[in-house]
Every structure is written in C-alpha cells, then in structure tokens.
Amino acid sequence: MEQATINESKNGNQPAIKPKRKQRSVGIPQIQSINSMQGVTYRGYIEAQPVDWEALSNYDFYSPTEDGSNLMIKITKSKSLDIKTQKPITTTFGRAYRVHIQQNPVIDHKRAD
C-alpha cells in the first residue's frame, strides 16, 4: 500500500482547496477638530462592596477606590487597562469595586467656541 502524499488523499483524489477569505479593512473615521465633536456624559454606578479580582469578567469596568475616581477595565485574567492613561497594567489579584456604566449617554449639545 502506498503512502498518501501531501497533495493526494489515500483514495487518489485531490483534497478540496478552500478559497481564502478576503479580510475587510475598515479604517478609523477621521475627525477634523475638537469643535466638530459632541460632548457625552455617561452615568456610572459603583457597587458598595468590593469583589475579588477573579469575580470580575473580562471587559468589566471597575475601580480600585470606593469613590470610583480611577476607572479601569479588566481586559484579561492578568491585565487591566487604566482609562485615564490608556496603558495596560499587570493585575493578578486584589479587590475592586465593580462599576456599571449606563447604556444611554447624555449628549451635550453645547459646543465650546
């Protein structure tokens, strides 16, 4: 019995070749100036009791302080993202206050001139 080669199957037929999927490229929209942006305010609610790091799910908002002054996001089981500095921080244990962000923002229609 002959061994199958890379291009042939055991019964002599060519394996089906899957066409490559074309990846879509979508760019980030360009903003001309800060004056063309609208102000948005999100309301957040901080849980009264801290939870363990393991109890937070990925992409949960949390604060290490009970007043919510330092907003962060858990991005993996060992990293979080500081919203203010936009830098990842290695985080593997501790207690934090879960923050719930309201889904619908309040849009400020006034623009600074």
Which H, E and C letters describe 20-65, residue by residue? CCCCCCCCCCCCCCHHHCCEEECCEEECCCCEEHHHCCCCCEEECC
- The predicted pLDDT at position 96 comes to 94
Cα atoms in the Cβ-side hemisphere of radius 13 Å centred on 64: 11
- The predicted pLDDT at position 73 comes to 96
Chunked mean pLDDT (size 10), the chain, 113 residues: 50 71 72 74 92 95 92 94 92 94 81 52
Distance CA 52, CA 93 (A): 7
Distance CA 45, CA 105 (A): 13
What residue spans define the domains of the chain?
46-103
Q: Are 72 and 83 in contact (CB under 8 A)?
A: yes
- The predicted pLDDT at position 40 comes to 84
